[in-house]
Structure 1
């Protein structure tokens, strides 16, 4: 149907830096895989679920009066079976390589435009500028992927070879000279020698679909020309010198040409990626105007990040057995990251002045609901007869991005300490709730009393301190086995086993007496020892 609200809404496509929530609801963990998909607001690109009870998309409309949404539903495709029609079998694998899965071949995305001002009626998707907006939303990077990639920053600096590059006599390279490798017909992963203008294909990138015959490297080995630039990664924004490589626009499936990365510049002598502070001048020597270039290929950083983000850890025990999956309320797992409660969350969603993705209370409500509702811990169909049922769990990417925002460690994808993250989280909640006077972190507070007795005058001093945590030592005692147990386990087994340690023993160790040196006794007025 034609809808007058499309023109009234003044919709515009998202830019390269717009946060587009299209993967999951910002207030619960319903996603494109849910029964009714999710609705992406085409005004502010918030995502809301279509669940008949929670109806967060409807809640968002009542709060913002943004009527036009794009409903996205992802449907798994049946695995194609090879018919017995004489078709030859797939090529035999002759090389050991990690082959990434192609998501586009596994799923189909069903989309439709709706208007909440018209009671959720479907809108003609060709109206006004809707086609361009729909294409931009589908091609944009998801918020979760954006948050992950923003946390990966690679420091790219010049080297002596890029700073002191001496080029051959300038000439304009013809378009046909830049079409494929000079030694083969490969037309992707092409590297331009900034010294002489030779074009050679790169090395094959294992773990990705990017191929190559290594003729760029061969050119360096024959000529000693070390510095090359990857065609397809050159953009006007990529001419800067030393600085950080911003990876916030990377997409494994869609290359956004509105905003580019620094061009890939590789030094074969250093065998590493470097920046070129004079890249624009060096490219102009071969007739390439940076201002007219657009990004058409993935950079080396993008290819590396795709592999890092695909990496998964198996849930296995020490004996190699798979962990048993549990399902239902209270048994929802966190993925690689009563009715009264839900009612309170809905009330806050209507009155929250901030965007749901940037509101701590909204994200805490979302995480608690996801973990305790049981909706996201349903048994998942096993891959094969040998696999046990599993669950998807929830991935609190928005929560992690919000809590870690601005922190030098927790805003990155580096390995982090859970204890330090808990302390940081408690501090943030304290700051947020200080004005309200209802700080929920007070439930963690307790008072530690320290007793110090001077060994000289036997006087006792007490110190009290309010704390939210204690660090206890866990003793590591190697388990001694009897002769019978050693024979039963086998002589060849050399694994070290440790004794079990109870939590009570750890607490007893924490409060046990210890001798403290260099204690300045206020009674003796000199340094002595004390029993703590």
Structure 2
């Protein structure tokens, strides 16, 4: 939530108009807009982050914090997971929260009924499906608000060091030695490698053709039809052990200061391509 309210879209919607939502709320404890505006005021107004005077012992002062308990209770009320105190998936919560923002922008009175801050993350993807059997293509479009990437462990820059670390760790565990003091060596993976894997053609051998009642082989690629104002990247850091139990991948992602995605811009049907006819 702190990251969201660094964005001007959410600041303008909920902080600059907080008095509007406070005045309109008939039942503030159960009002989504009022609770979100209250959170925005707590984060952005500066009222709760005053500097302790130099002549005052900071250790004797109560922590200057805010606890958005009413917001948390409200946002999690109708969700089986977010209503608990257990740690939850950040990407799943963000998706759920943005859906709530979108829903309330549509149905609730606001200073500007056309302004929905959740749209700053939305983009459209193009899927190109190539049928080698007939040399034809099909183009599909879908909306999303999160750029989901797999973590390509095989692209780690320090594979040798990671291998040696895992071997040493395994040997120490077998000998019953403590590994707490062993410096952790994580795979270092460039974000660009994960993006390249996402953009690479994917061959699917059992693509169903409902009209013909059979399957065929296709090659699928995906690109961006539109780009968002802010791109949220979700790294899929879970995999499965040999016994199919989930396992979280512990990696370090190397993220550049500037990311050029122009090569992923979709260009639609190309000269010489023939569309599949249903």
What is the TM-score when the length of structure 1 is the normalising length? 0.30
Partner residue of 2:18?
345
User: Where is the helix percentage greater, Structure 1 or Structure 2?
Assistant: 2
Q: CA deviation at 1:444?
A: 1.9
Is residue 49–residue 64 contact of structure 2 (8 Å, CA) maintained in 1? yes
Is the 2:129–2:138 contact (alpha carbons within 8 Å) kept by the matching residues of 1? yes
For residues 339 and 438 of structure 1, the distance between their equivalents in structure 2, rounded to whole angstroms, comes to: 10
The 5 A counterparts of 1:411-450 are 411-435=83-107, 436-450=113-127
Whole-angstrom distance in 2 between the partners of 1:434 and 1:474:
36
* SS of match in other structure, 1:530: strand
Measured in 1, the distance between the counterparts of 2:190 and 2:63 equals 31
Superposition pairs of residues 142-157 of structure 1, within 5 angstroms: none
Report how many residues are paired: 184
Q: Tell me the equivalent position of 2:30.
A: 358
Q: Where does residue 160 of structure 2 map in the other structure?
A: 480
Per-residue CA distance 1:11-57 (angstroms, 9 max, x = gap): xxxxxxxxxxxxxxxxxxxxxxxxxxxxxxxxxxxxxxxxxxxxxxx
Contact 2:77 2:83 in 1 (8 A): yes
Provide the aligned C-alpha RMSD in A: 3.7
1:451 partnered with 2:128 = yes
* 1:89-116 deviations in Å (ceiling 9; x for gaps): xxxxxxxxxxxxxxxxxxxxxxxxxxxx
- 1:376 and 1:391 in contact (8 A); partners too: no
Q: Aligned pair 1:460/2:137, yes or no?
A: yes
More strand by share: 2
**Distance verdict in 2 for CA 1:364–1:341, change over 3 Å:** closer
**Alpha-carbon contact 1:453-1:530 (below 8 Å) kept:** yes
Distance 1:465 1:342, change over 3 A: closer
Q: 1:454 to 1:341 in 2, by over 3 A?
A: closer
CA distance in 1, matches of 2:12, 2:91: 31
Deviations, residues 312-341 of structure 1 (Å, cap 9, x unaligned): xxxxxxxxxxxxxxxxx97xxxxxxx8997
Quote the offset at 1:445 in angstroms.
Answer: 1.5
Deviation at 1:425, TM superposition (A): 1.2
393, 398, 401: which one pairs with 2:65?
A: 393
Equivalent residue for 2:203?
Answer: 515
Q: Which has the higher contact order (CA 8 A, sep 6+)?
A: 2
**Do the aligned partners of residues 460 and 406 (structure 1) sit closer, same or farther apart at CA in structure 2, a change above 3 Å counting?**
same
**Is contact 1:514–1:531 with CA below 8 Å preserved after alignment?**
yes
